[in-house]
Amino acid sequence: MNSDDRYELITRNAEEVVTDEEVEEIADDVDGKRAYVGYEPSGVLHIGHMLTANKLIDLQDAGMEVVVLLADVHAYLNEKGSFDEIQETAETMKEQFVAFGLDEEKTEFVLGSEFQMDDEYTLDVHSLAVRVTLNRARRSMSEVAREEENPKVGQMWYPLMQAVDIARLDVDLAVGGIDQRKIHMLARDHLPDIGYDAPTALHTPILTSLEGGGDKMSSSKGDPIAMDDSREEIEDKILGAYCPPHLEDNPVAEIYRYHVFPRFDRVVVDRPEKYGGDLEYESYEAFADDIESGELHPQDAKEALVGYVDKLVEPGRQKL
């Protein structure tokens, strides 16, 4: 794989990279380059986690080292349960990530509490705390905080810790959903102030709600497909999903784009002969063209999607 191929794989399905030139440098020489995603262990893996996990698989295939931070302290600060509950969930999540497709031998799993209590780490957080304004910290948490209207002090500490995580884990690429952008920009702006390099960032999109209407998918609303869903539950969610005959705000098309095509070389949509017979796709672009042209009916797309999502979920389901 040459540097151009690595660049295409690293940036595939990314909503944004900051900056493009920095990603090109990583792609030119990936040897020893490290990428990370941090996850709050707050429940069963769902389709949002799986989106960034797909990106980690891309990065492993491109030759990068991957670190998964199971951010137990962050989850506690964001009121996701007791430490015992959170750490038990973290162990289950680790097993599910491996079942989903991360290469266990090439993935470093780290609990936040393994290093976030160290004196040097704490001093780095304090050093950021005297440089970052309260307004900046609050704005950076606006997309991820549980209490947006009346946040706790711990939630203001959260983005400072996340910035120091990037430095202490010695990563070259910070990966997260686009809701993490403000935190990553805080890290880029202020880590150099305390002696660390500004990290390169890659952001994945947030999927559209299965109910449509322009809303984003949210676990708090019980919206996402999760690894503890049975095939019947997956079928109910997908067949009941909003799926217009176009791509804009189409959650079914997004799941094909971000979950199915990155993981399957060929996608087959079964159709009766009287409706033209089966359709086969080797790329999302061909699939998207048929959605837009009307060649592929939304109902046929949804029915085929059930089987593919079930195949992705099944290995992790067995770990519960």
Per-residue DSSP letters for 123-158?
HHHHHHHTTS-HHHHHHHTTTT-S-SSS--HHHHHH
Q: 225-259 b/e with 16+ CB inside 10 Å = b?
A: bbbbbeeeebbebbeebbbeeeeeebbbbbbbbbb
- The pLDDT value recorded for residue 73 is 94
In this prediction, residues 83-105 reach a mean pLDDT of: 94
110, two tokens: 């780290």
Cα–Cα distance between 208 and 205 in angstroms, integer? 9
221 pLDDT tier (thresholds 50, 70, 90): low
How many CA atoms lie within 13 Å of 240's alpha carbon, on the beta-carbon side?
11
pLDDT tens digits, one per residue of 112-157: 999 999 999 999 999 999 999 999 999 998 877 655 677 888 888 9
| Residue whose pair of structure tokens reads 């019947």 in the numeric block | 232
By C-alpha distance, which of 150, 171, 142, 180 is closest to 39?
180
Least confident of 12-21, 39-48, 297-306: 39-48
Cα–Cα distance between 160 and 21 in angstroms, integer? 26
CATH number at residue 195: 3.40.50.620
Pair (192, 224) in one structural domain: no
Q: Is 102 a member of any domain?
A: yes
Cα–Cα distance between 266 and 143 in angstroms, integer? 35
CATH number at residue 255: 1.10.240.10
226, 44 Cβ separation under 8 angstroms: yes
pLDDT tens digits, one per residue of 167-216: 999 999 999 999 999 999 999 999 999 999 999 999 999 999 999 887 88
In this prediction, residues 236-255 reach a mean pLDDT of: 96
Pair (55, 180) in one structural domain: yes
Per-residue DSSP letters for 204-221?
EPPPBPTT-TTPBP-GGG
Cα–Cα distance between 266 and 191 in angstroms, integer? 43
183, 141 Cβ separation under 8 angstroms: yes
285, two tokens: 């672009």
Average pLDDT, the chain: 94
pLDDT tens digits, one per residue of 31-83: 999 999 999 998 888 998 899 999 999 999 999 999 999 999 999 988 889 99
Longest Cα pair distance anywhere in the chain, in angstroms? Answer: 70
Cα–Cα distance between 95 and 103 in angstroms, integer? 11
In this prediction, residues 11-32 reach a mean pLDDT of: 97
Cα–Cα distance between 226 and 44 in angstroms, integer? 7
By C-alpha distance, which of 160, 151, 169, 152 is closest to 189?
160
Q: Is 209 a member of any domain?
A: no
Pair (195, 235) in one structural domain: no
Pair (182, 304) in one structural domain: no
Pair (110, 245) in one structural domain: no
Q: Is 210 a member of any domain?
A: no
Residue 87: C-alpha distances to residues 75, 76, 84, 111, 198 (Å): 10, 10, 5, 8, 30
Pair (226, 193) in one structural domain: no
Pair (268, 230) in one structural domain: yes
- The pLDDT value recorded for residue 102 is 96
Beta bridge partners of 110: 69
223 pLDDT tier (thresholds 50, 70, 90): low
Instruction: State yes or no: pLDDT of 101 exceeds 90.
Output: yes
Least confident of 33-47, 54-68, 258-272, 297-311: 33-47
Pair (108, 194) in one structural domain: yes
- The pLDDT value recorded for residue 218 is 74
Pair (172, 308) in one structural domain: no
In this prediction, residues 19-33 reach a mean pLDDT of: 97
Range of the domain at 247: 219-317
In this prediction, residues 214-225 reach a mean pLDDT of: 75
Instruction: State yes or no: pLDDT of 229 exceeds 60.
Output: yes
Pair (167, 277) in one structural domain: no
Pair (42, 181) in one structural domain: yes
- The pLDDT value recorded for residue 216 is 83
Residue type at position 159: P
Pair (161, 100) in one structural domain: yes
Cα–Cα distance between 55 and 215 in angstroms, integer? 23
By C-alpha distance, which of 33, 61, 41, 47 is closest to 205?
47
